Copies of this chain bind each other. A is one copy, B any other.
């Protein structure tokens, strides 16, 4: 397997938290593999997972005859733990994110189902996996007209239709449904509770930066957290990284500078530009921070390499040693790649339309060089690739976010916003209780979606405690629901 594929595999493994930072640069991150879900879409799921297809409405909100077009929408049921409709046992609904839904079947949601005798219902997000409008991926991605039906509102309405249909088919109308999602899927879970409270009684939204839109969260927040993660781990590591950028520039300006850099970083193919190297390094740092997961803790292992290089090693030598230490045994050379926005990527489409997270940072605000968020360039890229102009303010108009504590203080109920503060996305998450039942459950040391990973024997106590707290809260929702049901 070529190093490139190794890289991609590595990056995609933790796909429960597929997610995007720079749409220009990054499509999706994955951390260290910690659970048994396959790294490829799989039709070889364990036999308790039943794959179903719902004939889904392509366009829920318009009524021209074309909109009555439908597509086969994939969802998965697992009855293994379910107490059944007779006992009004709950339904745990995984609100699929930007990935093939079969990636995500084995997550913490199974523990929830086991504990509460829950039915497992995983719903794929339209335009991912097999849930392709227009019959095939090729057709769906043909152009902006066929991609147009890819939006969060349509996906939420899809979920509503599927849940209502599944409940009806199982005569499970009295069974309380609870949405569970991670990263973008967690945003969808919380929005689903907000917009469809009649369909789910609550939502567990893990690592969902619902406030990273418009001007709610400081643009540099993401990289500020990455920098803090490194600094908290090692001041010298942080300083080395901070100094490395100008060092790269200095060497690049020398004769044969790119060759020198190529050798220093043991790249698989010679560098074409310094920017390529910088982008690559940035991806390495931010992915380490976002998925700074036990037991390998990539920030720690990167810094160990940087700090532990033999005395006298120069700055870039230390950086290279950091990378080598992080990926020891996985890769033989650094395959420097830059993700480009692609008209074959559904997530890129979403970031070019409504999921506009204004992530950028100025000079000296982080351990990175300056790279302000530039909506003009962003728009230009989207126009070039999709012929579409992003709507950067729409998400806050549609889903809110500004002044969320006042707005939802007396509105809404039963939402857990869980986060790990080492996750740079946590800065755009809900980190404060909004009310008695719209609550923030975070850990100081956790990373992106860590609570949604399946529990492992060597989990740290703070992670175990986070999940216990979530279970306790969900248990109260269900108990309250049953109490109401009993009075009917």
A296 within 8 A of B: no
Q: How large is the interface on A (under 10, 10 to 19, 20 to 34, 35 or more residues)?
A: 35 or more
Question: Which residues on B sit within 8 Å (CB–CB) of A396?
Answer: 198
A437 within 8 A of B: yes
This protein's copies in its complex: 2
Contact residue among B61, B148, B194, B401 (Cβ-Cβ distance under 8 Å from A63): B148
Question: Which residues on B sit within 8 Å (CB–CB) of A400?
Answer: 196-199
A157, closest chain B residue (CB): B398
A77-85, A180-188, A410-418: which one contacts chain B?
A: A410-418
Task: Write the A403-426 contact mask toward B (1 if CB under 8 angstroms, else 0).
Answer: 110111111111000000000000
Task: Write the A82-111 contact mask toward B (1 if CB under 8 angstroms, else 0).
Answer: 000000000000000000000000000000
Task: Indicate whether A65 sits within 8 Å of B151 (C-beta atoms), given known contacts A398-B157, A412-B411.
Answer: no
Q: Is B197 a contact of A407 with CB atoms below 8 Å?
A: yes
Q: Is B151 a contact of A62 with CB atoms below 8 Å?
A: yes
Other than A62-B148, A63-B144, give 14 A-B pairs with Cβ distance below 8 A: A61-B153, A63-B147, A63-B148, A63-B349, A64-B147, A65-B144, A157-B397, A160-B398, A164-B393, A194-B197, A197-B407, A410-B414, A411-B413, A412-B412
Interface residues of A (CB under 8 A from B): 59-68, 144-151, 153-154, 157, 160-161, 164, 194-199, 349, 353-354, 387-389, 393-394, 396-404, 406-414, 437, 480-481, 484-485, 488
Q: List 10 A-B contacts (CB under 8 A).
A: A60-B61, A60-B398, A63-B151, A63-B349, A66-B145, A197-B407, A197-B411, A199-B397, A406-B488, A412-B412
